[in-house]
Amino acid sequence: MDHKTAQEIALKRYGFIAPLVSGNIDTYKSKSDFFRDAGSKAGVHPHTVRRWYDRYLKSGFDGLIPKPRNDSNQYRKLDGDVQNQIIYILSEYPKLPATIVYQRLLDTNTIVKKDVSLSTVNRFVQKYKDSKGITPIKDMRRYECEHINEVWCGDSSVGPYLKVDGKKQRTYIIALIDDASRMIVGIDIFFNDNFVNLMSVIRGAVIKYGKPKKFNFDNGANYRSSQMNLLAARIGTIIHYNPART
């Protein structure tokens, strides 16, 4: 398994334990209830989710990265890591056919063709898709968080044109606002709306006000960066992306 695939699996594992890490489990009666629910969503035993959480507490994000296997010559079907990788692919591309999922697993050396057949992957993919069912209609009423640092909303906006060396140049404003207090926790103006500048705003806000339990973003390219997911995993928070056109 290459480094990129291992990191993607670790990010997927973090996604399942993130509510507990960031303290967003008020809807659960106990940690056990959380582990049972997370396990059902991940397609693994609740004890597996508990192990991921314990590893994160002990070693941070690096504790979630799968270790190299020493049984590469032994027959194996879909173990937990392979299942998590399939779930990760389908969460990004829900309509992807099993044939493409299978080819991706082969291309990333997640599986070996002689050990895992297309029919095995197909059965798991179909079972996963069936379990998702029809997506319920979202409640679109206005809301407001009760406490500060529960949710920070971030967005970018086109700013004024400035003259630089006699030429007009477009600017971009990147800002973070705390949902409960409506206070701007981070803001700056740049000549480019990119991930590096977004990180500059986030870094300044976190240093000054601490971390939020959740970031709320749209689907802009800089907000959807894989590095953003790594940031969330390392500081112990959650990123929520609003559905398109909402």
The pLDDT mean for the chain works out to 85
- Extents of the domains making up the chain: 3-132, 151-241
Q: Which residue, among 221, 219, 222, 215, has the nearest Cα to 239 in the 3D structure?
A: 215
Residue 174 has pLDDT above 90, yes or no: yes
pLDDT at 43 over 80: no
pLDDT confidence of residue 246: 65
Specify the pTM. 0.56
Per-residue pLDDT tens over the stretch 188-220: 999 999 999 999 999 999 999 999 999 999 888
* DSSP string covering 87-121: HHHHHH-TT--HHHHHHHHHHTTSS-TTTS-HHHH
> Confidence band (pLDDT; 50, 70, 90) for 75?
very low
Architecture per CATH, domain 151-241, reads as 2-Layer Sandwich (3.30)
Please give the pLDDT value at position 225: 82
Q: How far apart are CA 96 and CA 100, in angstroms?
A: 7
Residue 171, judged by CB atoms within 10 A of its CB (0-12, 13-18, 19+), counts as middle
Q: Which residue has the tokens 């389908």?
A: 90
Which residue's structure tokens are 């590096």?
A: 196
Note the pLDDT tens digit of each residue in 109-164.
778 888 888 888 888 888 888 876 524 345 555 566 788 999 999 999 988 889 88
